[in-house]
Amino acid sequence: MPRDGSSTVTAARDEENSVMSSRNSSGGSPGAGDEERKNWLAYLGVRRLSAVYLWIFFMVLFGIISGSTFLTSTTYNLVFSGGVVTCVLALAFLVPLACAQYDLSIGALMSLSLAIMVYLSLHSSLPPVVMALIAVGACMCVGAVSGFIIVRLHVNSFIATLGVSQVLLAAVLLISDNKQLVGEFPESWSNAGVNDLFGIPQVLFYLIGISVVLWYVLEFTRVGRYLFATGGNQEAARLSGVKTDRIIWVSLIASGGIAGLAGVIYSMRSGVFSSTIGPGYLFPAVAAVFLGASQLSQRPNVWGTLIAYFALAFGIQGLLLSASSAAVWSQPLFQGVSLIIAVALAARPVAQKLKEARRGSTADPEGGEHPPGASQPATSGGAG
Amino acid sequence: MADAQPTQGSIEPVLDIQNLSKTFPGTLALDSADFDLRPGEVHALVGQNGSGKSTMIKVLAGYHHPDPGGTITLGGEEVTIHDPAASRELGFRFVHQDLGLVSTLDTVENLALGEGYATGFGGRIRWRAARRDARERIRALGYDFEVRRPVGQLGAAERTGIAIARALHNWEQARVLVVDEPTASLPSNEVSVLFEAIARVRAKGLGVIYISHHLDEVFAIADRVTVLRDGRVVGTHATTDLDEDRLVAMMCGDVQLSPRIDRDTSIPSTPVLEVRSLCGTVVDDVSFTAYSGEVLGIAGLTGSGREQILRLLFGALPRSGEVLVDGKAAPPHPTKSVAAGIALVPADRTGSGSIVDLTVRENFTLPDLKRHSGIGAHLSKAEERAETREWIKELDVRPPRPEAVFDSLSGGNQQKVVLAKWLRMKPRVVLLDEPTQGVDVQAKATIHALARKAAAEGATVVIASSDDAEICDTCDRALIMRDGRFVGQIERDDLSPETISSVQTGAAAIRA
């Protein structure tokens, strides 16, 4: 009887083959080798790498306009080392976003971490590394609390973390007594924030280190897959046996920890605390993540985020150097406008038109029977 | 292309399509199709996924432009349909499978979507008039329900009614109503309500194009049926000249569909799934045992608890009571159910059965990633891809690419992937909730064969379905639910849609 079962499957398949054969002869189904190759071709597409092209554009444009000041190692050092804190914060936002949770408390978490560092440097004799561990640990605890509010109290993450960020603001005001505090760190600690290693700012290595770890976890481990599955459809992931509540919880704890690291790195670079520092970093970080999510794999991803951030940062720097009057207001304007344009270009309308054009060329004459949604990465090389 | 009703040939058709073709780059989706629709007629359009029926409908809706050479004649005048607005202007009205209602708004507001409200001084909405109008319009279709309730709280048949009422706004100008898979989400007892509404529409002289995978519905409501296969019209016949077997043969070509498979009696009947006093919000103190090698059906009308019971068994909904697999308790949590060897294919394929934005591979491997992770929790995508490719070949999923986005697959292929992701786990208990809703005849046959095969390999398969014919074709035994309890059990030899519905409705004596 098992034999009967399988033969029926075969029979059904043969029928379908006969129905589909006419279609295949014209459409052609790509083999495994074709698919790999097409993936690589698709990776060079404008849509997947628009931020890289934007970056190149800025380099060329401002290189021509003010090459003498723009194309210098000072500019590179300034932009790269100056962007590290924001990028780490962006990575903190990225983790919960992968499972479709917004953590808007990252700016406040960084502020808390920095406040703890500065406070401990003034009121204790602990080595800075221990202070850093305490600060990061505290931020992870706050992440755990946010996770509790979201998972157990069923509060929308947007609201939960917005609320938590205000509570954190109160906490740092309490710690700092609403004054600007200047930390007293050992020289070695401050040096770690400003020194160069092999001609490259040392802080950049921290960023790369965190990025590599996060990239590996997101792309090459089960936890990463569970994060994206939960983000894609929480109910479906749960019914597939994924412990979605735990995944969300873990993502917020990770987010807290990484935001804490951003504060620690900030303390190396400046060592001065004021309660206004954290929140200002929220927007550039969030912008980088969303812009980055339109790049490469077209879901929230580490390298897309970094590319997006630095493309914008170089644009802003170029603007600052080229037009002296553009000093203060250019940054938020630039970030706001470029975020909207980039995400709009990557989002539905344009993407859908491209997809429809592509759909027609794949082996699916009734393309419209499937609701349009995600893109089809492997077909963008053009089948048939 | 024989018209089986020459006597009616003299009636002027409201819609006449001649030689309609549509080429997409690389494929001919519609190949010189002819189709005509008479006023007051219900004309069914059937064919498998990919046969060209959606393409034809989309040409009428103005979403696709046909190849030059074909003509569309509406009420004696040749027309060109440039865009959706022009289609509506010409008198085409559509009720799509996904009804396009906003569930948090009420009937009045949903009817006003797109057509606007009657307003008074200062743009004030004249709510009273709008409500009266809404009430009249749903009554005209034979419905009667409170128009101020959010449509999310209404039944599926009522929602379909609202979609039809909305499509028929200014129906004096409407000439053709196209109803696309209206019963895909409709429980069988509510289909008659929909049919009543359609009967009222045709009585007004509109032509109705009715698209469905359910052939029994075609025979119940349509006057004529046109069969499409591979983009060509295979034939148009009066439904009275056909029977279901011939229609299936026309849809599938010269291939034989799978015969009914009986249970393999050589497998020893050891109990695999034992359920003791299971309770949910509707399900009330249910106990049963299912055996290895058995395909058990659960039938019941909507509201009987049938649509809930499998999710309760899996722990997807809060429950009380005990579920045992091979004598060991399975706690009420999806993760633990998976560990205990239970698999659930939910009824809502895209809503809770799959993650549409991820690839086929990522969907397929999700329940068990451990087998592909090595040192340092490293996940091998190459291994994942290889395994996915094997199953894709085994089940003939199209397109055969592990990296295809799940969303880009047709319904039948999606369901094959969802089934495969569980079958690779070699589950002891396979729970299938409405496994073939919205899939074509051949994918349906494949899915049923897979269910039988899983049972033949020693698992227990439980199918909950509103499609009584499906239960009869695939199950060894059926339990019938009513009001949250089992009210009857029908063995293989007595299984027929008639016996099921008689127990469902309480007409027959309880046999359990």
List the CATH number of the domain containing B14: 3.40.50.300
The minimal CB distance from B29 to the residues A39, A235, A365 is found for A365
Pair B490, B343 in one domain: yes
Contacts A13 to B, Cβ<8 Å: 395-396, 446
Q: CA–CA separation, B341 vs A376, rounded Å?
A: 33
Q: CA–CA separation, B281 vs B294, rounded Å?
A: 28
- Per-residue pLDDT, A139: 96
Contacts B452 to A, Cβ<8 Å: 4-5, 8
Bigger pLDDT: B121 vs B8: B121
Q: CA–CA separation, A372 vs B270, rounded Å?
A: 46
Pair B312, B197 in one domain: no
Residues B438/B440/B446/B450 CA torsion (nearest 10 deg): 10
Q: Which residues span the domain enclosing A95?
A: 85-307
Q: How far is A136 from chain B (nearest CA, A)?
A: 24
Per-residue model confidence as pLDDT tens digits over B394-408: 888 878 889 888 888
Structural domain includes residue A16: no
Contact present, A142 and A112 (Cβ < 8 Å): yes
Averaged pLDDT of chain A: 78
Contacts A352 to B, Cβ<8 Å: none
- Per-residue pLDDT, B265: 60
| Binary contact (B366, A242; C-beta < 8 A) | yes
What is the token pair recorded at B231? 């983009």
Q: CA–CA separation, B457 vs B442, rounded Å?
A: 22
Say what percent of chain B tops pLDDT 70.
90
Pair B179, B303 in one domain: no
- Per-residue pLDDT, A326: 61
- Per-residue pLDDT, A347: 57
Least confident of A147-156, A302-311, B208-217: B208-217
Pair B452, B363 in one domain: yes
Structural domain includes residue A151: yes
- Per-residue pLDDT, B226: 93
Report the number of distinct structural domains present in chain B. 2
Q: Which residue of B has its CA nearest to A379?
A: B404
How do beta strands B271-279 and B286-291 pair?
A: antiparallel
Q: Which residue of A has its CA nearest to B458?
A: A2
- Per-residue pLDDT, B362: 92
Contacts A8 to B, Cβ<8 Å: 258, 261, 445, 449, 452-453
Structural domain includes residue B370: yes
Confidence of residue B10 (pLDDT cuts 50, 70, 90): low
Structural domain includes residue B182: yes
Q: Which of B252, B280, B304 is the endpoint of a domain?
A: B252
Confidence of residue A38 (pLDDT cuts 50, 70, 90): low
Contact present, B372 and B387 (Cβ < 8 Å): yes
Contacts B381 to A, Cβ<8 Å: 220
Pair B84, B199 in one domain: yes
Q: How far is A99 from chain B (nearest CA, A)?
A: 12
In a mutational test of the B interface, the residue from A3, A10, A15, A99 whose CB has the highest number of chain B CBs within 10 Å is: A15
Pair B225, B319 in one domain: no
Contact present, A230 and A111 (Cβ < 8 Å): no
Per-residue model confidence as pLDDT tens digits over A274-320: 878 877 888 889 889 988 887 777 788 999 999 999 988 888 888 88
| Binary contact (A19, B411; C-beta < 8 A) | no
Bigger pLDDT: A177 vs A86: A86
Q: CA–CA separation, B220 vs B195, rounded Å?
A: 9
Structural domain includes residue A361: no
Contacts B63 to A, Cβ<8 Å: 368
Report the number of distinct structural domains present in chain A. 1
Q: How far is B125 from chain A (nearest CA, A)?
A: 33
Say what percent of chain B tops pLDDT 90.
26
- Per-residue pLDDT, B494: 82
Contact present, A207 and A88 (Cβ < 8 Å): yes
Mean pLDDT over residues B237-243, rounded? 88
Confidence of residue B185 (pLDDT cuts 50, 70, 90): low
Bigger pLDDT: B252 vs A233: A233
Structural domain includes residue B260: no
| Binary contact (B63, A368; C-beta < 8 A) | yes
For tokens 């599938």, the residue is B252
The minimal CB distance from B410 to the residues A225, A370, A373 is found for A370
Contacts A383 to B, Cβ<8 Å: 26
DSSP state of B238: E
Q: CA–CA separation, B309 vs B324, rounded Å?
A: 15
| Binary contact (B314, A239; C-beta < 8 A) | yes
By the 10 Å C-beta count (0-12 exposed, 13-18 middle, 19+ buried), A71 is classed as middle
| Binary contact (A365, B48; C-beta < 8 A) | no
Pair B214, B347 in one domain: no
Structural domain includes residue B42: yes
Pair B440, B489 in one domain: yes
- Per-residue pLDDT, A42: 54
Q: Which residues span the domain enclosing B231?
A: 6-103+171-252
| Binary contact (A232, B356; C-beta < 8 A) | yes
Q: CA–CA separation, A344 vs A78, rounded Å?
A: 30
Pair B326, B364 in one domain: yes
Taking alpha carbons only, the member of B284, B278, B261, B227 closest to residue B56 is B227
Pair B484, B396 in one domain: yes
Pair B223, B307 in one domain: no
- Per-residue pLDDT, A360: 41
Contacts A347 to B, Cβ<8 Å: none
Interface predicted TM-score (ipTM): 0.74
Q: Find the angle CA(B375)-CA(B376)-CA(B380) to the nearest 5 degrees.
A: 65
Hey, what amino acid is at A153? Answer: L
Pair B284, B192 in one domain: no
pLDDT at A133 over 90: yes
- Per-residue pLDDT, A281: 87
DSSP for B483-499 reads TTEEEEEEEGGG--HHH
Please tell me the pTM assigned to this model.
0.73
Q: CA–CA separation, A83 vs A308, rounded Å?
A: 12
| Binary contact (B253, A19; C-beta < 8 A) | yes
By the 10 Å C-beta count (0-12 exposed, 13-18 middle, 19+ buried), B322 is classed as middle
Q: For B120, phi and psi rounded to 5 degrees?
A: -110, -150
Mean pLDDT over residues B229-254, rounded? 83
- Per-residue pLDDT, A376: 36
Contact present, A51 and A298 (Cβ < 8 Å): no
